[in-house]
């Protein structure tokens, strides 16, 4: 949030850095405190924060579909709206900028019959028309299932849950699929469900650790790499160590183990020694990888969600088939 930028203040951008993959964190858009001025200049470039608004009222008055296809009346309404906006912005430019060229052109991007918006730039839509082409597809923007932090083995299941929610709008069917996905999740290998991240600053943190007493503020994936190196050095002293610059896979494990740790890392394969020493916490892994992501979709449509391990309480709406 920027509080001290006034009209046309200049902001100098000193650097742009690429972020490594991360888990359980969010990236927030830059937002101006004054909503009437969602822009500022940086290095002589106009930076503008985008926005969206709902036109759901249109389909309440004009039928979206004629049978299984988008109705011609709905297409005409959308085209009329596009023309209205372009005529309006040109009129505004003539009056306020003394030019016929407003530099803005409004064009309809897609038509969707159902969508879930978590927040700005984070949504899923079921698209029927994509810039004039008739399609039947889903568009994912800014949600976890399209991020590299979600293991590839899990993404198809996450998408299926979300798409079932949108197409059926049945909490009962969506809940059933969520529970089935948990059963599948528990059968996956450690390599398939592990988080994958790049290690940075390993030496800095490791130098502050004393055996299993780790440095304060040590990132979980770096901590997992440190535990790997420490334990393997005690087992055989010959295994390849993980250092800065390496990609690490890590898992949550149940705390009832010889070393009392809750995470462990590995580089490529989850070795036999770790299989004997640790029991993977599949419940926590499922919660971190998938459940928390799906919960945000449930919240957005005011559905109550229950963890697959909890006792199931049938919703009255589902019981009576509403």
pLDDT score for 8: 43
- The pLDDT value recorded for residue 240 is 85
Averaged pLDDT for residues 9-23: 52
pLDDT at 257: 94
Q: Which of the four pLDDT bands, split at 50, 70 and 90, describes residue 275?
A: very high
What is the predicted pLDDT for the residue at 4?
A: 45
Which pair of tokens denotes residue 226?
């440190």
pLDDT per residue as tens digits for the range 44-61? 665 655 555 556 667 678
The set of residues, in sequence order, having a beta carbon less than 8 Å from that of 319 and lying 6+ positions away, is none
pLDDT of residue 153: 82
Q: What is the pLDDT of residue 175?
A: 94
Average of per-residue pLDDT across 288-296? 92
How high is the pLDDT of residue 262? 96
CA-CA distance, 206 to 227, in Å (whole number)? 10
Please give the pLDDT value at position 54.
59
Secondary structure (DSSP) of 5-32: --TT-EE------PPPP-SS---PPP-B
In tens, the pLDDT along 168-178 reads: 999 999 999 99
Give the mean model confidence (pLDDT) for residues 218-222: 95
Q: Where are the alpha helices (DSSP H) in the chain?
A: 56-61, 72-96, 155-168, 171-185, 190-193, 202-206, 220-235, 272-277, 282-286, 292-300, 316-319
Contact (Cβ atoms closer than 8 angstroms) between residue 172 and residue 315 = yes
Size of the chain, expressed as the number of residues it contains: 322
d(CA 156, CA 184): 12
Orientation angle between helical segments 155-168 and 171-185, nearest 10 degrees: 170
Task: Compute CA distances 116 → 49, 120, 166, 220, 281, whole Å.
Answer: 21, 11, 8, 32, 31
- Compute CA distances 41 → 1, 31, 34, 52, 209, whole Å: 15, 14, 15, 22, 45
Residue 147: is it exposed, middle or buried by C-beta count within 10 angstroms (0-12/13-18/19+)?
Answer: middle
3 — pLDDT class (breaks 50, 70, 90): very low
Q: What is the pLDDT of residue 62?
A: 85
Range from 9-18, 130-139, 237-246 carrying the lowest mean pLDDT: 9-18
Name 124's bridge partners. 116, 140
Question: Which region among 104-108, 170-174, 250-254 has the lowest average model confidence (pLDDT)?
Answer: 104-108
Q: How far apart are CA 148 and CA 156, in angstroms?
A: 13
- 309-312-318 Cα angle (round to 5): 140
Tell me the pairing of strands 122-130 and 133-141.
antiparallel
Does residue 268 register a pLDDT over 50? Answer: yes
Q: Which of 39-48, 94-103, 141-150, 307-316 has the highest mean pLDDT?
A: 94-103
Return the closest-CA partner of residue 289 out of 174, 161, 202.
161
- Supply the pLDDT for residue 247: 93
Region of 33 (left: φ > 0; alpha: ψ -120 to 50; beta: rest) is alpha
Q: What is the SS3 assignment for 265?
A: strand
Determine how β-strand 69-70 pairs with β-strand 133-141.
Answer: unpaired
Greater pLDDT, 161 or 44: 161
- Summarised one tens digit per residue, pLDDT across range 123-139 is 999 999 998 899 999 99
| Beta strands 10-11 and 39-42, pairing class | parallel
Query: Between 68 and 209, where is the model more confident?
Result: 209
- pLDDT of 129 reads 94
40 pLDDT above the threshold of 80: no
Query: How high is the pLDDT of residue 24?
Result: 46
Which DSSP letter does residue 241 get? P
């Amino acid at each position: 949030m920027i509080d001290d930028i006034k009209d046309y203040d200049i902001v100098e951008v000193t650097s742009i850095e690429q972020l490594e993959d991360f888990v359980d964190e969010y990236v927030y858009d830059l937002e101006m405190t004054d909503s009437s001025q969602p822009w500022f200049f940086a290095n002589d470039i106009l930076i503008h924060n985008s926005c969206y608004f709902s036109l759901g009222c249109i389909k309440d008055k004009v039928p979206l579909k004629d049978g299984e296809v988008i109705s011609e009346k709905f297409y005409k309404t959308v085209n009329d709206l596009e023309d209205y906006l372009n005529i309006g912005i040109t009129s505004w430019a003539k009056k306020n900028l003394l030019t016929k060229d407003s530099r803005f052109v409004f064009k309809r991007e897609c038509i969707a019959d159902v969508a879930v918006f978590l927040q700005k730039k984070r949504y899923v839509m079921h698209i029927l028309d994509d810039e004039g082409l008739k399609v039947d597809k889903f568009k994912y923007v800014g949600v976890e299932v399209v991020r590299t932090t979600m293991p590839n083995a899990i993404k198809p299941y996450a998408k299926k849950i979300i798409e079932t929610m949108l197409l059926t709008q049945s909490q009962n069917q969506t809940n059933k699929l969520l529970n089935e996905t948990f059963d599948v999740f528990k059968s996956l290998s450690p390599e398939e469900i592990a988080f994958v991240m790049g290690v940075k600053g390993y030496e800095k943190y490791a130098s502050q650790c004393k055996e299993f007493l780790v440095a304060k503020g040590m990132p979980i994936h770096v901590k997992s790499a440190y535990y790997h190196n420490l334990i393997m050095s005690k087992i055989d002293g010959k295994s390849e160590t993980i250092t800065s610059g390496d990609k690490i896979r890590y898992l949550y494990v149940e705390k009832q183990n010889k070393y009392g740790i809750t995470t462990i890392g590995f580089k490529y394969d989850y070795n036999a020694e770790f299989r004997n020493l640790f029991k993977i916490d599949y419940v926590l892994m499922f919660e971190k990888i998938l459940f928390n992501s799906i919960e945000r979709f449930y919240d957005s449509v005011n559905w109550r969600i229950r963890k697959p391990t909890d006792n199931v309480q049938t919703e009255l709406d589902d019981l009576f088939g509403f």
